[in-house]
Amino acid sequence: MYKYLSLLISGFLFIGLLDAQPSRWQQKVKYTMNINVDANTNRFTGKQKLEYTNNSPDALKKVFYHLYYNAFQPNSSMDVRSNHLGKTIINGKPDWDSRVMDRISKLKEDEIGYQKIISLKMNGISQSFKYDETILEVTLTQPIAAKSKVVFEMEFEAQIPIQIRRTGRDNPTTGVRYSMSQWYPKICEYDIEGWHPTPYVAREFYGVWGDFDVTIAIDKSYKLGGTGVLVNDKEIGWGYDEPGSALKPTEKAKRSWHFVGNNVHDFVWAADPDYIHLVRKMPNGGPIFHVIYNYKNNDPKNDTAWNTVADAAVFTLPFIESKFGKYPYPQYSFIQGGDGGMEYPMATLLIGPSLGTVFHELMHTWYQMILGTNESVNAWMDEGFADFSSAHVSAFYRDNFSRVKYKNNSAYIKTIDSVAAILPLIHSGSYRSYYYLAKSDYQEPLATHADHFETNLGYSISSYSKGAVFMEQLGYVVGAEMRDKILMEYYNQWRFKHPNSNDLIKLAEDMSGVKLDWYKEYWCNTTKTIDYGIDSLWEEGGISKIRLIRKGKVPMPIDFRLTFKDGSTEMHYIPLNLMYGSKASENTGETREEHVAWKWTHPTYIIEFKKRLSDLKKAEIDPSKRMADIDLRSNLLQLNW
């Protein structure tokens, strides 16, 4: 009886947890593609079958596809925008992306990229469509009813552009032959905000989750890596069937590579005849890591560096999963290609084996591939959170790898909590970049659409550095331990659901017990800055008093530490009235006094303490330096009386 009662209670608890999960309908796709590549002409043809499930409550009269390759043509939006940004001079240099510059305007006919649709049918009936450069607009003969599924069948052809931005052929730096990202006609996302037919001008992406079944026929000398699992591994060999195996011979002129990736929102692959393939398996089971790189100049240092990438991935994954959530896919590939580092589901393209870039791109798995925020609208939730998390991964790797071998999986997992001791150092680069931007003329609100920033500099520092500061500073507002719990629950509740910034803030409020809408408003929707200072101090009626002043426009809660001549300290905590709550003490063993909340309308606040003023040695606002105060000089008062 007790057993059945226990099962019944467990069932109710499980149902309760399901009810607590946020619900949001998602469109669903299932791609089946057969691609035939001509390596002599750098062109390919494709047949695409797309099962599209409309889970929305709306009837869809149109659909839209991305045709990214069409950006790589003279006078395209990407070309014109890049040249326009290059006219802005910052620190004596044109503010264009150094990878793009004016290169698109100089492409010849056999160097441009294009995607052309030969035919398009829905449920067997031809559909009319029109091109708008990188967007294909399809007016349907019959609306797609709510809660229904249709099948699109498409034939297309494409020319692979010279490597300029992310995708392309004949990389001049690495020699990689093909980096195949943004390479297929991809249906645009339709969500609670409607369609997102975002033209390919520069930066970020947004896609529909689903399943990909992709077969690529290419000259038999080529070796491939990409999204998904190679299902014909026994036919291919080359380390896919078993580590270290050779590429299996074939009498055919072309070899077919068959990849399957499930529950992903994009598909990338790369190909080169000289690729080398490293394989690493997790000691206690889990995903397989593939490292695929170009054999260059017979340089043994190159081999060593890529082997380090493979070992570092295995070593850090348990730490990553303990802090940010479980990796849900069967494999991950680091592939040399592209023009720097660019993230895709189950894979990344890397121009080289720099571990900083490796960790950043790997963390995009969590902060884009799994959570899937619309990064065009909220690039800071993509790039910034990847910067924040990869800084922790880098610190963990740096401080533990030399002492603990990755095969001893259970031993080093215990060292995870020690990383918190060096928090002020981990994000110093992001803070420095933000301070530079905040004091320049180039800062724009974080909420600015990624393609609409007026400068590349402003976009880069805002999205990466200010986005990372947002998350570290959130730890200052609600406590680092609470912030970490919020991040894990954010992953658990919102994976595969396209959360937005309001979803994150609502979750953080529910978990921390404090209101945070003001924080998002100031930090994301304005360019206002934080600036507090110690104004004056005096004794009055035997009571010691210190007046603090808010000089900046962004109000914040205040940690204020007093250090006395006898070595003792007191933490004085002043919550912000807009919080309607307070954070728990973060410093165990230190006295903390919580004061009445500071009203955001009031520029000054007076703190009282019991010890004599003459006993005070030092007073400091935010000794952890997590609050991004733009003038730290006024935060510290040293007394030598």
Report the 3 state secondary structure along 448-503: CCHHHCCCHHHHHHHHHHHHHHHHHHHHHHHCHHHHHHHHHHHHHHHCCCCCCHHH
Average pLDDT across the chain, whole number:
93
Q: What is the pLDDT of residue 8?
A: 39
Rg (CA), the chain: 27
Residue 424: its pLDDT value, please?
A: 52
pLDDT at 423: 44
Q: Tell me: pLDDT of 391 over 70.
A: yes
pLDDT (0 to 100) of residue 589: 84
Q: Which two tokens stand for residue 625?
A: 């330096």
Residue whose C-alpha is closest to residue 175's, from 257, 107, 269, 275: 275
Residue type, 223: K
Name residue, tokens 């959530």: 325
As a whole number of Å, the end-to-end CA separation of the chain is: 75
At residue 4, the pLDDT reads 37
The alpha carbon dihedral of 235, 218, 100, 129 has a sign of: negative
**Over 70: is that where the pLDDT of 22 sits?**
yes
In this predicted structure, what is the pLDDT of residue 402?
A: 58
Judge whether residue 246 has pLDDT over 90: yes
Q: Match 């030092």 to its residue by tokens.
A: 618
Where do the H-state alpha helices sit in 297-447?
Answer: 300-324, 355-363, 379, 385-400, 409-412, 423-426, 428-438
β-partners of residue 54 are 148
Q: What is the mean pLDDT of residues 609-635?
A: 96
Residue 297 pLDDT grade (very low, low, confident, very high; cuts 50, 70, 90): low
Per cent of the chain over pLDDT 90 is 89
Mean pLDDT value of segment 375-404: 91
What integer is the mean pLDDT of 532-536? 98
Averaged pLDDT for residues 521-529: 98
Take residue 63 and report the two structure tokens written for it: 């659909």
Expressed in percent and rounded to 5, the helix, strand and coil fractions of the chain are: 30, 30, 40
Residue 531 is which amino acid? Answer: D
**Which region among 16-20, 233-237, 501-505, 555-559 has the lowest average model confidence (pLDDT)?**
16-20
- 96 has a pLDDT exceeding 80: yes
Task: State whether residue 518 is helix, strand or coil.
Answer: helix
Residue 400 has phi, psi (to 5 degrees) of -125, -25
Mean pLDDT of 289-294: 97
CA distances from 445 to 385, 429, 605 (A): 17, 20, 29
Joined together, the tokens standing for residue 166 give 């992310």
pLDDT band at 401 (very low <50, low <70, confident <90, very high): confident
Question: What average pLDDT does this structure show over 231-235?
Answer: 98
Phi-psi region of 281 (alpha: psi -120 to 50; beta: other; left: phi over 0): beta
On whether the CB atoms of residues 243 and 290 are closer than 8 A, the answer is no
Tokens of 575: 């919550």
User: How far is Cα 119 from Cα 110, in angstroms, rounded to an integer?
Assistant: 23
**How far apart, in Å, are the Cα atoms of 231 and each of 32, 243, 256?**
14, 15, 11
Q: 133: alpha, beta or left, given left = phi > 0 and alpha = psi -120 to 50?
A: left
pLDDT at 505 over 80: yes
Residue 9 pLDDT level (bands cut at 50, 70, 90):
very low
Residue 616 CA from chain centroid, whole number: 45
Q: In whole angstroms, what is the distance from residue 135 CA to residue 138 CA?
A: 10
Rounded to the nearest angstrom, the gap between the alpha carbon of residue 347 and the centroid of all alpha carbons in its chain is: 13
* Contact by Cβ (8 Å): 220, 255: yes
What count of residues does the chain have?
641
